[in-house]
């Protein structure tokens, strides 16, 4: 069984759902920070449940990760999906933080 984290872009806000109610945030950066906090602390990943991140954009496009137990892999992919909406400094810091993951691809 796979758990899906859904991030959705609306005209003036972003939402993120971890399977229950959606949390609304004003920016992609706020959504990404929430995703980071949730995946890095007690997580379904620790219980052996694979997780995928799904991003739905305002224009109807989508991106989805493969199922994974590795929070770093999910966060790296999510930062790639959201890079057009995140501050450049955040994107660069994530590239450095997850550099070993990007070289494996």
Distances (CA, A) of 98 to 3, 66, 71, 88, 90: 22, 17, 11, 15, 12
Cα–Cα distance for residue pair 102/20, rounded to 1 Å: 31
Which residue is listed with tokens 């994974």?
68
Q: In what order do the strands lie in the sheet with 22-25?
A: 22-25, 14-17, 2-9, 50-56, 62-64
How much is the pTM?
0.85
Residue 6 tokens, joined: 């859904």
Give residue limits of the domains in the chain: 2-104
pLDDT (tens, 9 = 90+) of the chain, 105 residues, equals 788 999 999 999 999 998 888 999 999 999 999 999 988 875 556 677 889 999 999 999 999 999 998 888 899 999 999 999 999 998 888 888 877 765 554
Comparing C-alpha atoms, which of 80, 46, 48, 45 is closest to residue 64?
Answer: 80
Residues 6+ apart with CB under 8 A from 18: 3, 5, 38
């Amino acid at each position: 069984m796979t758990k899906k984290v859904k991030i959705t872009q609306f005209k003036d806000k972003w939402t993120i759902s971890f399977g229950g109610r959606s949390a609304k945030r004003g920016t992609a950066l706020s959504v990404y920070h929430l995703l980071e906090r949730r995946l890095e602390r007690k997580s379904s990943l620790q219980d052996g449940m694979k997780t995928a991140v799904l991003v739905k954009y305002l224009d109807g496009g989508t991106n989805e990760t493969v199922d994974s137990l590795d929070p770093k892999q999910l966060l790296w992919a999510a930062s790639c999906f959201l890079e057009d909406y995140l501050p450049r400094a955040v994107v660069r810091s994530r590239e450095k933080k997850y550099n070993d993951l990007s070289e494996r691809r």
